[in-house]
Chain A
Amino acid sequence: MLVSMNWIRDFVDLDGQNIEELIHRFTLSTAEVEGIEYKGADIENVVVGEILSCEDHPDSDHLHVLKVDGGDAVYDVVCGAPNARTGIKTAFAKVGGRVGQMKIESAKLRGVVSNGMCCSEKELGISDDHSGIMELDPALANGTDIKKVFPIDDIVFEVDNKSLTNRPDLWGHYGMAREFAALTGRELKKLEIMENDYTGDKEVAIEVRNTDLVYRYTSVRIENITKKESRMQMKIRLFYCGTRAINLLADLTNYLMLELGQPMHAFDGNKISKIVVDTPKEAIKFTTLDGQERDITTDTLMIYDNETPVAIAGIMGGLDSEITDDTNSLVLESANFDGVSVRKSASRLALRTDASARYEKTLDPEMTLTAVKRFMKLLFDVDKDAKIVSRITDSYVKKYPVITIDFDKKFIDRYTGIDISCDRIKDTLVSLGFDTAQNGESFTVTVPSFRATKDISMKADIVEEITRIYGYDNFAIKTTLSPLLPAKTSMLRKEENMIKDLLVKAYAMNEVHTRVWQDPDELRDLGLKVTDNVKILGSADDQGVLRRSLMQSFLPVINKNKNYKPSFGIFEIGRKVNGTRADGTADEVRTLGVALYSKAEPEKQLYFKGVELVNTVLDELKHKKVNYVKTDCVFDYQHPKNTSDIIVDNVKIGVINTVHPSVLAKITRNAAIVMIEIEMDTLLGIDADDLSFDEPSKFPGIDYDLSLVINEGTRYENIEECWTRDGFKELKDVSVIDMYDNGNIKSVTLRFRFELPDRTLTSEEVQVDIDRILTNLRRVNVELKL
């Protein structure tokens, strides 16, 4: 919102104040100021000039050569304005003066010297009218500084609308002026209004049928309006505040809205016999005054003339009842509609107007009557002949309750942590319009109606009023007295950190973040489909469907990075959703996703790197061993032969898999991808084994190597049982020292280490163990390699 300091000064005397500093304080105490403009600062040495003569330029078909009386002398001026003519008075910029970016200098225009320039309103920055040079009141003395004639000089600042969301009172200059009064300790002047001089008993016929969405509807009928144009002063203010002047009546409603924050609408008096406020029984079409035909739903509040719709309540009037240049009578609407309803209608219609923006802030219904009286005052200032032909008719349907709040200084002290005096508390609240009663250190305040619609309702709100005017910069700051107690890192966070560190440092992987919903286009590029899941409400088709696996996000990431390096790994601890739980809510699962990609390593090697990674994670975090059980594919990207459940303590914690060749083919030829998903909360639930320490034996052990031929279909875990099942107390460790795989023959060489803590083993004793192991091996058809 744009705020004119000239306008503010109508209501509060700011003489002697540093305006810039004041605007800065406004930012710190009220709402954020986004920018300040110094209007008129670029207008210098422009005076009232009279065109004494006007002749055609000898060498141009549109330029004129003028003699202009600038008060001090007569100047030769070349001017191209179509309305330049003898006898009119205009704004004349003298040589040495300045108009906007233009420095006025003596210059030849097509051979004729021009000493100065006649100006349009646009050139002076007071409107966007560039149709011709200004035509001023002939009574003005030549040579009068134009800034003495019009209030061109002004300081206009812009307030961030978002910071006014909760302050309906600040959507007009009068409310803004109250803030400046409070900030400076000066008095807010009473608004000048006009009481109705009509003494008859005619009313404006008003019927509010929908009483849910209307708080108040106030109206008056005025006739015999003869003046069509606003005064220049009003036009300039409207322009400076971002509104274009149209005609007197439209300008007045706009001016009132900018002054009081009360949107108003002037209907052509000839077209309204009875105002009806209601929602339509069925959907209708309605043409607003911008010429657009709009679809009106049955929950949109409308204004009717009897049964004919004439306006969308609180948003925009209709084309048919619009004020035109011929209008000489009006029915004025000054109403208060339900803010939520207006906001919803405006967003449904995609028609957000200055009026709707104000209504949605929950305006004060007390204001409608004042606004009507202020409108009359401003109208009659301009048009003495206008006639009020009705009573001010006021249909006050719903009222907000009056709010009173009790508090004492002790409360304020405790909440602020500083000492603010009772006098200061009282002065501040009074200056902000609160009716304040003080009894010692206790206060009872009545919240003014313009703050009581939703903004202020409790003690904490009062604290804000007092402290923001006090100034947060003036606060003495101090630390809390709360005891300091140790905060321990949660196991959840520790595990996340350990895993991230391990993957980054030991496996040189890159952490990524991916979106929680599936991207149908990216999946389609890989020949994959969106899997059905919980989705974002209102999203079309296969859009906005949450992922069931992090891999649905990872595959597109890999695809994008396939030329980044021949080998890389990515991981994320993110969320996936496993459909819904029994109670119908989304089953969100905190999940570690890991993907290894390589064009250099064979898939098998990469797969074992993945297995090693999982084993290492479980060893690091839980000191536990992992089992893998081949499982059926759940997702279309998984490889039917190499998809395994990851199992710890008989609990499935995740899945490891290679990627289906048809998906690989879409990414790149000869690449391998291995994927791992671990459900982090399941992992968190697994107890870690204690770290167990085994004193190394002081007596030498014996190593015994066996090379075993492994048949197709035999898993190492079956072989392992040959020495784990029976328990060999002398067997200390078994390690793989060599593996051989030429496609036909697979073999593994194992080193068995035997030792005892208290004595040296004999080779005979070891041989007994070895023989038993060999017997076990034969039972599962594992032969020694010869």
Chain B
Amino acid sequence: MKDKIEALRSKFSSELKTVADLSSLEELRQTFMSKKGAIQDLMKELGKIPNDQKKDAGQMINSFKQEVNEHFEARKKELEELALKALLDHTESYDDSMPTGNPCGSYHPITLIQRELEDIFESMGFDVEDYNEIVDDYNCFEALNIPKFHPARDMQDTYYLTTPNQLLKSHTSAAQNTIMRKYGDKLKKYGRPIRAVFPGRCFRNEAIDACHENTFFQMEGVMIDKDISISNLIYFMKTMLSEVFERDVTVRLRPGFFPFVEPGFELDIQCLICGGDGCPSCKNSGWLELCPCGMIHPNVLKHGGINSEEDPFEYTGFAFGLGLTRLAMMKYGVGDIRVFNDGDLSALSQFVSR
């Protein structure tokens, strides 16, 4: 028995040396350890051995079995480690500098600037309103104190339509009357001041070039309450524009004529590029003309049902108009206005949100 074990041991150790992978190791294990394996065969032979030697022989087989098992486990561990190492070695180190497609859409630049402004105005308590693109003569002109013979009504500027008294809105001010009527009751009954902005598409008959468009966006705003003053207007414009440009801006007001405000102003901001020293952007003046504004004309407040004939100054208010298209051009450095409506995706796809 001892010899047999010795023969098996040397067979095992020599065969174990040739084993190079886990599957042949398993084969080897089967050869020795399975129910039909070599060690089991030894166990069977145990019956033929005289009784007094059985105990020793049994112990010998058991310790051999244990020995084989240990070798086997050690080798298995070794091979597993080798396999893992080989897996690691063979795994590709990826080139993450490879370009990828960016499955990322884009917003229209007007949407971006509009959202930014709407957020600011909402934070200042303004309602954001929507308004039609087709409006009637009353809302676009009459209600805004733009008399019948005013040049702004001329055919060459305004797109009148074949439908009675209708036109494509030439300015967002066309919404003023509707908004005054919508919120007038709350103002008069509950003292809730009217604060609203209304962005929208406007149309004017212009030949299109890099600086001119017949379709553009404005955002208009009004604030109406008791005792709203010019001083309030200047304060508000400065605060609001500082938010828009994310820095403290210097503003100045000049007289400007618009029939729906009195007094009316052109608001300039100190050039953000040169800081007022003069540069090509501000045509060396140090100032950029940014938005018309003014105290809402008493006739407009009357048309809007805010003030009565008897007390045309009971409520006062201011209005302002921002050129969204122009602001977007300034903010994103768009040099050619045609980008906005041309639908050229190589240009528009660059306006991803931040």
Residues of A in contact with B (beta carbons under 8 Å apart): 27-32, 163, 165-167, 339-340, 343, 347, 360, 411, 414-418, 458-461, 463-464, 467-468, 472-473, 475-490, 492-493, 497, 500, 503-505, 507-516, 534-538, 544, 546, 556-557, 560-561, 564-565, 568-570, 572, 574-575, 577, 580, 584-586, 588, 590
Contacts and interface: CB of A to CB of B under 8 A. Distances in A.
Contacts of A418: 229-231
B229 A510 contact: no
B182 to A, nearest CB: 11
Secondary structure at chain B's binding surface: helix, strand, loop or mixed? Answer: mixed
Contact of B134 (A459, A480, A586): A586
Given A415-B316, A483-B192, A575-B132, 20 more contacts: A166-B257, A360-B151, A417-B230, A417-B232, A463-B230, A472-B234, A472-B253, A477-B235, A477-B238, A483-B193, A489-B128, A508-B103, A508-B104, A510-B349, A512-B345, A561-B343, A574-B201, A580-B163, A585-B136, A588-B133
A491 B33 CA distance: 76
Contacts of B353: 504
B215 interface: yes
Nearest to B199: A493
Contacts of B162: 534-537
B195 interface: yes
B301 to A, nearest CB: 10
Given A31-B255, A467-B263, A487-B127, A500 B111 contact: yes
Contact of A343 (B108, B151, B193, B295): B151
Given A467-B230, A536-B168, A570-B343, A30 B160 contact: no
B263 A483 contact: no
Contacts of A347: 154, 156
A473 B105 contact: no
B159 interface: yes
B159 A480 contact: no
B313 A459 contact: yes
A560 B343 contact: yes
Contacts of A485: 125, 192-193
A569 B345 CA distance: 10
A241 to B, nearest CB: 22
Given A480-B223, A511-B107, A564 B345 contact: yes
A694 to B, nearest CB: 32
A475 B348 contact: no
Contact of A481 (B227, B236, B349): B227
A482 B126 contact: no
Contacts of B279: none
**Residue with the highest number of chain B CB atoms closer than 10 Å, among A31, A492, A510, A569:** A510
Interface in B107-166: 107-108, 110-111, 115, 118, 121-122, 125-130, 132-134, 136, 149, 151, 154-156, 159-164, 166
Contacts of B298: 458-460
Interface string B245-267: 00000001111110000111110
Contacts of A416: 229-231
**Residue with the highest number of chain B CB atoms closer than 10 Å, among A28, A510, A513:** A513
29 contacts: A165-B257, A415-B295, A416-B230, A418-B229, A460-B295, A464-B263, A472-B265, A476-B231, A478-B232, A482-B225, A483-B193, A484-B125, A489-B128, A490-B129, A508-B104, A516-B215, A535-B162, A537-B161, A537-B162, A560-B344, A561-B343, A561-B345, A572-B108, A575-B132, A575-B133, A577-B134, A584-B164, A585-B136, A586-B166
Given A415-B316, A487-B125, A340 B149 contact: yes
Nearest to B341: A513
B228 interface: yes
Contacts of B341: 513-515
Interface string B304-317: 00000000110010
B78 to A, nearest CB: 44
A28 B129 CA distance: 33
Nearest to B263: A464
B58 interface: no
B297 interface: yes
Contacts of A569: 105
A511 B348 contact: yes
A536 B343 contact: no
B103 to A, nearest CB: 4
Interface in B265-287: 265-266
A561 B201 CA distance: 24
A568 B235 contact: no
Closest 3 CB pairs of A and B: A417-B229, A417-B231, A464-B263
Nearest to A340: B149
B340 interface: yes
A28 B104 contact: no
Contact of A464 (B108, B228, B255): B255
Interface of B: 103-108, 110-111, 115, 118, 121-122, 125-130, 132-134, 136, 149, 151, 154-156, 159-164, 166, 168, 191-193, 195, 201, 203, 215, 223, 225, 227-232, 234-236, 238-239, 252-257, 262-266, 295, 297-298, 312-313, 316, 340-346, 348-349, 353
B122 A489 contact: yes
Given A493-B118, A588-B134, A504 B231 contact: no
Given A483-B191, A500-B111, A534-B161, A516 B230 contact: no
A497 B130 CA distance: 13
Contacts of B122: 487, 489
A492 B110 CA distance: 18
Contacts of B232: 417, 477-480
Nearest to B123: A487
A512 B108 contact: yes
A463 B130 contact: no
Nearest to A463: B263
Contact of B125 (A414, A486, A500): A486
A786 to B, nearest CB: 40
**Residue with the highest number of chain A CB atoms closer than 10 Å, among B132, B156, B254:** B254
B108 A479 contact: no
A477 B234 contact: yes
Nearest to B340: A513
Contacts of B265: 472
Contacts of A509: 105
A477 B318 CA distance: 14
A464 B128 CA distance: 30
B231 A473 contact: no
Nearest to B287: A27
B107 A475 contact: no
A599 B128 CA distance: 40
B208 to A, nearest CB: 10
B262 A461 contact: yes
B128 A490 contact: yes
Contacts of A556: 343
Nearest to B193: A482
Contacts of A472: 230, 234, 252-254, 265
Contacts of B104: 504, 508
B233 to A, nearest CB: 8
Given A417-B231, A560-B343, A490 B257 contact: no
A177 B149 CA distance: 29
A585 B163 contact: yes
Contacts of B127: 487-488, 490
Nearest to B351: A511
A530 to B, nearest CB: 14
A785 B39 CA distance: 55
A564 B344 CA distance: 9
Contacts of B103: 508
B161 A478 contact: no
Contacts of A478: 231-232, 235
A329 B129 CA distance: 66
Contacts of A417: 229-232
A537 B160 contact: yes
Contacts of A493: 118, 128, 130
